[in-house]
Amino acid sequence: MRKPIKLYSGLIHIVTGIVTALIVLFSQDWFGDGDIWSYLFWTVPLAIGISVIGNNLLGLIPTENKILRAIGIIIVSGIFSYAWVWVLYLIIDPWINAFSIPIFYLWTIGMIFQLLYLDWKLPKEEKNKSIKKNLIRLLLFPLVAFCSIVLIFGFSYLRSYLTKPEAETYLIPENFSGQFKIVYGEECGIMPKTENDRKILEIPQNGVLIIKPEFKAGIIDHEYYLVDNNGNRTKIEQYENYVTGIKNVPGVRLGGSGNYAGKTETGFSSDSPLTIRYTDFELYKDTITEFEYKDRIKMDSLTRKLVEECRNGK
């Protein structure tokens, strides 16, 4: 009987968190809706871990008074959620700041409902172990969470490998430097040719290549070449090797994928058919340039202009 109760508690945590996240996104006019999958990815191991040690956490609240137990559950949930934020920070470092939804509050709310459910459903003897035994059992949490993360990463990697996009070769003008973009899924765009089973993406001098194929996520296989006026190619590497940490100059930095939300009847949405989807790159030739916000704005403006002209047949 205990196993279904613990399983249901984990599901309650996940569902409560998702519902709360959707409410937050609705209040933000769905800004940051892409973060829901990342939030869910890191919520699952937390929910599993709390399912395993939830009875021990409840055993640390030494009172039968319902109000005081509820307060204790709120405090424990806040402490554990704050710790989980720090675990995530140690794993993904500054990328945690990219979340557009308040993950700490979402985890706290989900954990509160999970522990309240366990406190309601678990037999009394399950929660009345000694403080020492409960503290020792809490050591199971890192192990369970770690195994859950490894398993999720494993499935995610396998899925990415099985659905990996076509290998791509980028041909960049020899005299080009700075930012460039690939814009995907435009009917007016070009259909890249294929060479040796690799998609050939020829970057124009303006830095914006508009293509017909849709963006496809997965494990990437990119090659980059500088091309002179005679068509001769010189291979360059990705700017930073994330395994060795070596930075290559000249080299290409793969930025990230994003979109410019399209207009709808009620405002703007990434689900609009007018949405522009792209991936950012930057070519460093012989020096590393500092990030300039005005250059990003200029590139964004140029991209929108060229896509609009493309769609209008200009």
State the DSSP H helix or E strand holding residue 84, giving kind and residue range, or none if neither.
Answer: helix 66-92
Residue 134, helix vs strand vs coil? helix
Which band of pLDDT confidence, cut at 50, 70 and 90, is reported for residue 184? very high
Does pLDDT of 104 surpass 60? Answer: yes
Residue 277 dihedral angles phi and psi, to the nearest 5°: -110, 135
When pLDDT is averaged across residues 21-27 and rounded to a whole number, the result is: 90
State the pLDDT at residue 129.
Answer: 63
Vertex 256, ends 211 and 21: CA angle to 5°? 110
Does pLDDT of 307 surpass 60? Answer: yes
State the pLDDT at residue 128.
Answer: 61
Which band of pLDDT confidence, cut at 50, 70 and 90, is reported for residue 36? confident
Q: Given the structure tokens 């196993």, which residue do they identify?
A: 3
C-alpha distances (whole Å) from 12 to each of 158, 201, 272 are 28, 46, 32
Choose the weakest-confidence range: 49-53, 65-69, 254-258: 254-258
Q: Given the structure tokens 């954990």, which residue do they identify?
A: 111
State the DSSP H helix or E strand holding residue 284, giving kind and residue range, or none if neither.
Answer: strand 276-284
pTM, two decimals, is 0.56
State the pLDDT at residue 269.
Answer: 77
Give the span between the Cα atoms of 131 and 137, in whole angstroms. 10
Give the span between the Cα atoms of 147 and 77, in whole angstroms. 21
Q: Pick the residue with more confidence: 181 or 100?
A: 181
